[in-house]
Chains A and B, each alone.
Chain A
């Protein structure tokens, strides 16, 4: 049903390739780290974890930014993205501006906090751009109106939830690692709320795409029952939904405190699930056939 041979290009449903194959795989990681980092920064700033904010900044700026540059064909021309007028229409241009401003303002804030005194409002400004950073990836993909799997308002919502949820996980690890346990419980609670939001949005998203036409239906079918469906069912559902839910329910029902090691594991599973879901969305972004054909 989907294109597997060169002569089926645009005759059958054709998956996008450039953002998942060969060097495109870098973009999968770039999007992940950028959103995860920004989410971690926001959550850590709310819960007052400086280490969390720093880790978030590092994930976004160094890893996310690094993978972005590794992906580009001409990375040393990236400054054109900022200095051109692309921001008027291009979400990538806007995204780089958001990321840039977030990193700069975030870095200044972190330096001031560590070695001087923070400037009021700077953190808020950094936080706003961090939020924009989480949002922009969803809109980059949403803009592509010929890939029904991406062309839905639910996608930016999904990515915001993923970003914050991932950020909660990173913040949790940062707090545990630095034995700053005062707000761990609170972070855990919010993490569970966002877990529920994640489960809800994933299923709403996949269901609604099915009704976007045959291309959307095919995309969803490939995700849930195609060749790579174990990736979805094991990594996204089991690791990202069933296990964390089980742990949370178990803890709530039985009332025991979750061991730290288990918490680490749950966060890692959640992050892997995030990665897997992003992979599925990128890999199965299908274009409709361009010309009439018996599919």
Chain B
């Protein structure tokens, strides 16, 4: 630790001392518990350390947070991240003033003191002028998902900037699932209840088959379910990932799932006529009366939406205690205005979606659409009950599930809303055998302490509000204003995440908005923006203009090398103390009746060189910038359960830390754990025992009928907000199809099919599937992952249908060029398969070039270079990016 002086050196030394206990003196042969950092799912693990060297990783057999002792491949491989000689070990600053893709930063080592002083000075300047001038992004990985939203994000939020620009996940990550999942399940995502489910229609998602939500927990549960005979139909443009594990693979054109879903809903409601009426009646806003203006008919006094009580023959508010039988159909006069229940409107609206039409646009055979509708309804056993541990729960062992592939399109909102609609019709949401919000969103706490406890509740209009959430809660959408944020999320308040400002039209929009300020500081926590945000050139346009960028990383990447001025070296999850990753139960905790399994991210070895832990860095920065009390207050509010969202509670009692306390990460962790589980179960207990489990109660995991709240099948706020958003957006040059702001799930053809004629030479649709081994750009740097990837035909190659290739004169193994209609090109070797739709090209997003990741360099293809990000290629409601693109493919002749 030469060249270190002043308070930072002392802090570093103190932090090392505090972590020494975890490293057990740095000698010997021991197993230590922590949380896996291979992806964002945070399975519990144990690590073998020999003389300070982590050598082995395994799952924890006694825990349900993971595969009960097993782990997925990328998790096992994480040891190599720790041992990578290219890791960041010391703070560095850029000496090459030129920024841009592929630039050599010419790093020079600096002291922590100098680095933090420089950063703090910039932050203070910005805070004085306008805190929004600080733009920040973060990553959910590796192994850091909850740190992003509970340690990192809140620093910037308490600083005063909501200018979050994500980056690590890519800007389309979960746009619709997180938003609509929040509205409908109070959860970040959804998963089938594998314990009891008998029939799954899986669309555009690969969880349970190696990756995605809940990683090895889902693999374990899904494998057991499939082995006992659970039927899984996979509707996907490619059939070699989750399609390979289903009993049937149904090819479909990307972005056309909503056509099939709406046709199925039409069949279920209007032809088969079997759906869970009681669920819709009492658990959704289906009975809410809608006037001719397509808004709810509200009680004049209370402003609450009204329903028609069939028993009493009158309109009442939805929460009237005398209400018994709200009508789902019919026409009624309220305040002399003709109204209909929302469900009546939905029923009529669905009639236009005929199976024959859906088949034509999606290429899914009509017979299959009809068959799946019937099979779903039959398998759902609507009306049945099951008794679990003495508790009677509705039993609906069938569901529809989907994720990225469904929602990564310009019609994102309606794609996902129509999927969710199917589940609502079956009445299978958060009941036995059906579709569960991932994690468990209702917790009554540990039996001995009753903590941590959280539960969704009814809020605005009786609608479901999550009891805990990572960011601002999704309901109700705020009022549109601005734009005052570079991500334009204030202008589009239904959106939780946005591709802006890494878009080609951002500068023009910002100018039309009057350029309220210019971003001056970019703060990144791991986020490899350049690689993960559509086209690298789009990211470069923005990043290249920000005067100062600092980043906190475990390893250099394309973004730090191209654009960072200062990079701070961070502990990776083998060295990190992280209680943030222990909570977030609505995110990744084992679903269904799997036990509550509370693990803590604990260092298995002490940090080496001058790496520092995340929270310690942010505590230090908060001190220097002068926001420590606000930051502490956030942590207090969230971690003590007073308000587990980014909306802060007004904290009067301090259970974990006071605003003026300058405690370390270790102390914070210890206090949090003791607050949850009692004085005896602080950090020392967890170091010794690793984790804590307790039984889950049926009313926690199958909570739907234990929480009196409703969910939307009619999205009134779309109708309510349309005109205002349209007017404000058009003023700044954003022209979108505002018809998307319709309250009923509808079909909109995504832009990839409308921007070019059907007979265009760009006759293929390229997209990027999620591969089992790769979950971040970092994964290709792992030599074990790299070795296995080279043994997998679908990872480093461009994959296309064999017959399509034959027609183009392309043979297996040829080098081909894939080009979009803007002239962007990528080249790579082709792998021909029968397990791909004839009109698609599938490319796993890799193709690194960073010098700091030599193993990853040149491996695979950077799919994102084919994408363009602008308002024409976004969902008008959620700002979800269209992540498929029209391309053509041709063989590259040798020498060219």
Contacts and interface: CB of A to CB of B under 8 A. Distances in A.
- Find out whether A and B make contact in their complex, taking CB atoms under 8 A apart as touching: yes
Interface of A: 4-9, 294
Interface in B784-809: 790-793
9 contacts: A4-B813, A5-B793, A5-B813, A6-B791, A7-B790, A7-B791, A7-B793, A9-B791, A294-B834
Contacts of B791: 6-7, 9
A110 B813 CA distance: 58
Contacts of A6: 790-791
A6 B790 CA distance: 7
Interface string B834-860: 100000000000000000000000000
B790 to A, nearest CB: 5
Contacts of A9: 791
A294 B793 CA distance: 14
Contacts of B790: 6-7
Contacts of A7: 790-793
Nearest to A8: B793
Interface in B346-393: none
A157 to B, nearest CB: 39
Nearest to B795: A7
B484 to A, nearest CB: 51
Interface in B26-56: none
Closest 10 CB pairs of A and B: A7-B793, A7-B791, A6-B791, A6-B790, A7-B792, A5-B813, A4-B813, A294-B834, A7-B790, A9-B791
A7 B831 CA distance: 11
A8 B797 CA distance: 13
A9 B793 CA distance: 11
B784 to A, nearest CB: 15
A229 B792 CA distance: 30
Contacts of B834: 294
B794 to A, nearest CB: 9
A9 B813 CA distance: 15
A231 to B, nearest CB: 23
Nearest to A5: B813
A5 B832 CA distance: 13
A248 to B, nearest CB: 45
A294 B835 CA distance: 12
Interface in B397-422: none
Given A4-B813, A7-B790, 10 more contacts: A5-B793, A5-B813, A6-B790, A6-B791, A7-B791, A7-B792, A7-B793, A8-B793, A9-B791, A294-B834
A235 B349 CA distance: 77
Interface of B: 790-793, 813, 834
Contacts of A4: 813
Contacts of A5: 793, 813
Contacts of B793: 5, 7-8
Nearest to A4: B813
A8 B812 CA distance: 12
B839 to A, nearest CB: 21
A1 to B, nearest CB: 10
B118 to A, nearest CB: 47
Nearest to B787: A6
A5 B792 CA distance: 10
A10 to B, nearest CB: 11
A294 to B, nearest CB: 7
A6 B791 CA distance: 5
B830 to A, nearest CB: 12
The winner among A4, A5, A294 for most chain B CB atoms within 10 A is A5
A5 B791 CA distance: 8
A212 B412 CA distance: 56
A294 B240 CA distance: 14
A7 B792 CA distance: 5
Nearest to B794: A7
A8 B832 CA distance: 13
A4 B834 CA distance: 19
A41 B475 CA distance: 94
A158 B175 CA distance: 69
A82 B881 CA distance: 70
A73 B790 CA distance: 27
A289 to B, nearest CB: 14
B619 to A, nearest CB: 47
Nearest to A9: B791
A159 B792 CA distance: 40
A6 B788 CA distance: 10
A103 B156 CA distance: 83
A7 B793 CA distance: 6
Contacts of B813: 4-5
A8 B792 CA distance: 9
A12 to B, nearest CB: 11
B337 to A, nearest CB: 64
A290 to B, nearest CB: 14
A193 B793 CA distance: 52
B641 to A, nearest CB: 49
Contacts of A8: 793
Nearest to A11: B793
A226 to B, nearest CB: 16
A5 B793 CA distance: 9
Nearest to A7: B793
A289 B386 CA distance: 49
A240 B342 CA distance: 89
Nearest to A294: B834
Contacts of B792: 7
B358 to A, nearest CB: 31
B51 to A, nearest CB: 31
B257 to A, nearest CB: 28
A11 to B, nearest CB: 9
A294 B791 CA distance: 17
B780 to A, nearest CB: 16
A7 B773 CA distance: 15
A67 to B, nearest CB: 32
A9 B834 CA distance: 19
A173 B658 CA distance: 100
A5 B813 CA distance: 9
A5 B797 CA distance: 11
A4 B811 CA distance: 14
A18 B468 CA distance: 59
A294 B831 CA distance: 13
B633 to A, nearest CB: 54
A4 B790 CA distance: 13
Nearest to B796: A7
B756 to A, nearest CB: 33
B55 to A, nearest CB: 27
A6 B793 CA distance: 9
A6 B792 CA distance: 8
B799 to A, nearest CB: 12
A295 to B, nearest CB: 11
The winner among A4, A6, A9 for most chain B CB atoms within 10 A is A6
A6 B795 CA distance: 12
B341 to A, nearest CB: 54
A8 B793 CA distance: 8
A209 to B, nearest CB: 27
Contacts of A294: 834
A4 B812 CA distance: 11
B168 to A, nearest CB: 29
Nearest to B792: A7
A7 B795 CA distance: 10
A8 B813 CA distance: 11
Nearest to B833: A294
B806 to A, nearest CB: 14
A4 to B, nearest CB: 7
A9 B791 CA distance: 8
A268 to B, nearest CB: 37
B289 to A, nearest CB: 58
B818 to A, nearest CB: 19
A8 B790 CA distance: 10
A107 B493 CA distance: 95
B390 to A, nearest CB: 48
B832 to A, nearest CB: 10
